[in-house]
């Protein structure tokens, strides 16, 4: 019998979010003839013991570990997950001589630095399914893997990397969704993830998504997406969150998916949520989404100030936020606007204008993030470099020293907001219940989904759906 590939989920946050990437990787590995087993540390009370037990006395060809989040990306809390992940890699190493490979959406924001920090043998940046199967094949044959797409490895003491795999996702095998305990994730996490495409062609200066997923959109066919809904619905899973960067990029694909979902009666059978951009969002798309089972949308609005929207590289204007809101209301969709305050050029005036606009438009909820996480390879990281030595940059918060790869949480917070930026924003929000504004003092449960007990309890009581919408319903007694 050939040795199996062991896939390890290291994300233990609550509510639990299923590691979709591992599930998709398993489909490709199996299609290429590999045996696959899962160790889901999310549901293990003693991860160290579970690792030892899983690896003891078993032939293992390769161990793949996923890192979904490097940190919680919140300035107010600034929780760093990389040290814990490095500990898990170490624990695996102690139990096996099999090659250790790491990957994931968190891993892909800083692949070389995380390979160094963890001591894993290989990393795969970006899409993982095909490169992981290729690597497993190459290693099984004693081959030389250094030409594989997305591979990150050490050569003569230096970390080297290849470009990510950016092939057609529509040609990947059918998504079986059989690796994980999806029913348990639904019962405890309140939703299941589904991807309709990868990649994003928008030019938001702070976003790391295009680095890992590419700038060219690689779509799955509407029928493939609908099939995946069917697979999960058949197991009693009824609430979904799309895992696209932005569902309506491009709008034609979004419309095509909606048509297929409507044709299969998803409007009556499924309830789903998604991220979307206000750029080019139309009433036609809103009503198509509603007919297809969409119930709520989280828009990355970022700002209500035209100058700031331009600074952040957004492709819309403040006025569009009114039209988007109107389209959602007409279609009967619940929606929220996510703000990203404190970026380059933010002033007390631009922040005040943004909060005022939000109060005027009155989306169902407004999420406020203060401080923009800086990632290597983004335009924002170039802005930071141009501003001189990081340690003396008045616009940086978090780990500004000895962190030139931006791996530890570090945030841009425009000094023009003043010493007490959080206090100022809190004053502007003025206790308005429609706003989620996490602060260090009040705790971040108001909006952070990382170990959020309020959400865990609500889901236990039967709430389902996007977390912002569950928090909204809790507040409104809905
Ligand atoms: C949808 C989404 C959510 C939804 C999830 C809904 C659901 N049911 O799945 C919600 C809203 C709940 C959410 C919450 C959070 N999220 Co989120 N989320 C996303 C998003 C848009 C998609 C994630 C996804 O599933 N993608 C699809 C899968 C298939 O892709 P993937 O996971 O990347 O896997 C591929 C590769 O990474 C690789 N791979 C994965 N694992 C492995 C393992 C090995 C061994 C290998 C080789 C390869 C590999 O192969 C896979 C297939 O190609 C991403 C951004 C993005 N565009 O990916 C952010 C993202 C992952 N989230 C992020 C964050 C910060 C969070 C929160 C911590 C926010 C918070 N503070 O509340 C929480 C954490 C929740 C939790 N429990 O972990 C960040 C992480 C950034 C970072 N620095 O690490 C991201 C990248 C967004 C961003 N750019 O800031 N999120």
pLDDT in tens, 218-255: 999 999 999 999 999 999 999 999 999 999 999 999 99
- Domain-embedded: residue 17: yes
Detail the DSSP E strand segments found in 146-220: 151-155, 158-161, 192-194, 197-198, 218-219
Q: Is 211 domain-assigned? A: yes
DSSP 173: P
The CA radius of gyration of the chain, in Å to the nearest whole number, is: 22
Check whether residue 225 and residue 133 sit in a common domain.
no
Give residue 3's pLDDT band: very low, low, confident or very high (50, 70, 90): confident
232 with 171: CB under 8 angstroms? no
Ligand 1 centroid–CA 165 distance in Å is 18
Q: Which atom of ligand 1 has the smallest separation from the CA of 298?
A: 11
**442 — pLDDT class (breaks 50, 70, 90):** low
The reply to whether 130 and 266 lie within a common domain is no
The answer to whether the CB of 70 is under 6 A from ligand 1 is yes
Range of the structural domain that residue 352 is part of: 188-371+413-476
Gap from CA of 130 to ligand 1 centroid (Å): 18
- Residue 444 CA: which ligand 1 atom is closest? 71
End of a domain among 115, 133, 156? 156
Q: Does any ligand 1 atom lie closer than 6 A to the CB of residue 10?
A: no
In a domain, 390, yes or no: no
Ligand 1, atom 2, residue with closest C-alpha? 243
Dist. CA 272–CA 180, nearest whole Å: 20
Owner of token pair 């963890």: 118
Together in a domain, 194 and 141: no
Name which residue sits closest to atom 35 of ligand 1, judged by CA: 21
Q: Do 132 and 235 have their domain in common?
A: no
In terms of domains, do 109 and 248 share one?
A: no
Residue 294's CATH number: 3.20.20.70
- For ligand 1, is residue 109 a contact (CB within 6 Å)? yes
Residues 264-298 have pLDDT tens digits of 999 999 999 999 999 999 999 999 999 999 999 99
* pLDDT band at 445; cut points 50, 70, 90: confident
Overall domain count for the chain: 2
Percent of the chain's residues with pLDDT above 70: 98
Checking if the pLDDT of 1 tops 90, the result is: no
The answer on 246 and 138 residing in a single domain is no
Closest C-alpha to ligand 1, atom 47: 103
**Residue 345 in domain:** yes
C-beta 246 within 6 A of ligand 1:
no
Residue 448: band (very low, low, confident or very high) from pLDDT cuts 50, 70, 90: confident
Residue where one domain finishes, among candidates 156, 175, 207: 156
For atom 76 of ligand 1, the residue with the nearest CA is: 17
131 shares a domain with 59: yes
Query: Ligand 1: which residue has its CA nearest to atom 24?
Result: 243
What is the strand order of the sheet 372-373 is part of? 372-373, 410-412, 396-398
Asked if 319 contacts 355 with a C-beta cutoff of 8 angstroms, the reply is: no
**Is there a contact between 27 and 172 (Cβ–Cβ < 8 Å)?**
yes
Quickly tell me which residue has 């293992």 as its tokens.
60
- Clarify whether residues 86 and 143 are in a common domain: yes
Q: What is the pLDDT of residue 415?
A: 98
CATH number at residue 75: 3.40.50.280
Residue owning the nearest CA to atom 86 of ligand 1: 105
pLDDT of residue 438: 73
Q: Quick check: is 66 in a domain?
A: yes
- CB distance 350 to ligand 1 below 6 Å: no
Would 388 be classed as within a structural domain? no
Tens-place pLDDT, residues 351-404: 999 999 999 999 999 999 999 999 999 999 999 999 999 999 999 999 999 999
| Residue 171 falls inside a structural domain | no
Tell the residue nearest (CA) to atom 56 of ligand 1: 245
Residue 152 alpha carbon to ligand 1 centre in Å:
20
Please indicate whether residue 175, judged by its CB atom, sits closer than 6 Å to ligand 1.
no
Binding site membership of 118 for ligand 1 (Cβ less than 6 Å) = no
Tokens for 299, please give them: 């828009």
My answer on whether 149 and 263 are in the same domain is no
Task: Tell which atom from ligand 1 comes closest to the C-alpha of 13.
Answer: 77
Residue nearest to atom 18 of ligand 1 (CA): 243
How far, in Å, CA of 40 to CA of 292, rounded? 32
Pocket test for ligand 1, best of 6, 14, 21 (most atoms within 8 A of CB): 21
pLDDT band at 441 (very low <50, low <70, confident <90, very high): low
Contact predicate 335/321, CB 8 Å: no
Which H or E element spans position 300?
strand 294-302
Is residue 11 lining ligand 1, measured as CB closer than 6 Å? yes
DSSP secondary structure of 144-156: -GGGSTTEEEEET
Within 10 angstroms of residue 336's Cβ, the number of other Cβ atoms is: 24
Query: Considering the domain boundaries, does residue 257 fall inside one?
Result: yes
Query: What does pLDDT average to over the chain?
Result: 96
**Centre of ligand 1 from the C-alpha of residue 424, in Å:** 31
Are 247 and 339 members of one domain? Answer: yes
Pick the residue whose CA is nearest to atom 25 on ligand 1.
243
Closest-CA residue to 306 (of 323, 319, 296): 319
Is there a single domain that holds both residue 110 and residue 215? no
Determine the Cα angle at 47 with ends 140 and 56, to 5°.
45
One domain for residues 122 and 201: no
320 lines ligand 1 (CB under 6 A): no
- Which of 112, 139, 156 marks a domain boundary? 156
Q: Is residue 17 in contact with ligand 1, taking CB distance under 6 Å? A: yes
The CA distances from residue 188 to 9, 14, 179, 239, 361, in Å, are: 16, 8, 17, 12, 34
Q: What is the pLDDT of residue 327?
A: 98
Integer Cα distance of 235 and 471 in angstroms: 26
* Ligand 1 atom having least distance to the Cα of 452: 72
């Amino acid at each position: 019998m050939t040795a199996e590939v062991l896939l390890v989920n290291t994300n233990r946050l609550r509510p639990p979010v299923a590691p979709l990437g591992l599930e998709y990787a398993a489909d490709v590995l199996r299609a290429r003839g590999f045996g696959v087993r899962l160790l889901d540390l999310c549901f293990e009370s003693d991860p160290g013991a579970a690792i030892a037990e899983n690896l003891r006395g078993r032939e293992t060809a390769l161990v793949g570990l996923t890192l979904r989040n490097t940190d919680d990306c919140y300035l107010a809390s600034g929780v760093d997950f990389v040290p814990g992940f490095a500990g898990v890699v170490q624990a695996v190493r102690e139990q096996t001589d099999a090659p250790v490979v790491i990957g994931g959406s968190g891993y892909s924001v800083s692949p070389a630095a995380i390979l160094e920090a963890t001591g894993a043998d290989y990393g795969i940046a970006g899409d993982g399914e095909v490169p992981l199967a290729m690597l497993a094949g190459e290693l099984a044959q004693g081959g030389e893997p250094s030409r594989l797409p997305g591979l990150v490895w050490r050569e003569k003491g230096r970390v080297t990397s290849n470009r990510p795999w950016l092939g057609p996702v529509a040609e990947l095998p059918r998504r079986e969704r059989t690796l994980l305990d999806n029913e348990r994730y639904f019962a405890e996490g309140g939703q299941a993830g589904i991807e309709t495409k990868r990649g994003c062609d928008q030019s938001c200066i702070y976003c790391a998504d295009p680095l890992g997923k590419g700038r060219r959109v690689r779509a799955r066919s509407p029928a493939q997406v609908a099939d995946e809904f069917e697979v999960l619905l058949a197991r009693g899973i009824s609430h979904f969150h799309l895992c696209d960067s932005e569902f309506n990029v491009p709008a034609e694909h979004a419309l095509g998916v909606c048509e297929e979902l409507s044709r299969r009666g998803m409007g009556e059978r499924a309830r789903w949520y998604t991220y979307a951009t206000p750029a080019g969002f139309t009433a036609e798309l809103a009503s198509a989404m509603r007919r297809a089972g969409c119930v709520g949308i989280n828009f990355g609005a970022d700002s209500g100030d035209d100058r700031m929207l331009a600074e952040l590289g957004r492709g819309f204007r403040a006025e569009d936020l009114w039209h988007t809101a109107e389209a959602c209301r007409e279609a009967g969709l619940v929606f929220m606007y996510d703000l990203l305050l404190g970026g380059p050029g933010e002033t007390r005036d631009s922040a005040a204008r943004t909060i005022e606009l939000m109060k005027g438009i009155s989306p169902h909820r407004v999420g406020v993030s203060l401080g923009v996480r800086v990632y290597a390879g983004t335009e924002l990281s170039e802005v930071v470099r141009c501003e001189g030595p990081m340690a003396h940059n008045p616009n940086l918060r978090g780990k500004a020293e000895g962190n030139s790869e931006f791996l530890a949480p570090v945030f841009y917070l425009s000094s023009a907001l003043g010493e007490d930026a959080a206090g100022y924003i809190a004053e502007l929000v003025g206790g308005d219940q429609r706003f989620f504004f996490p602060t260090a003092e009040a705790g971040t449960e108001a909006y952070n989904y990382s170990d959020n007990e309020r959400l865990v309890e609500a889901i236990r009581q039967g709430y389902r759906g996007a977390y912002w919408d569950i928090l909204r319903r809790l507040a409104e007694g809905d």
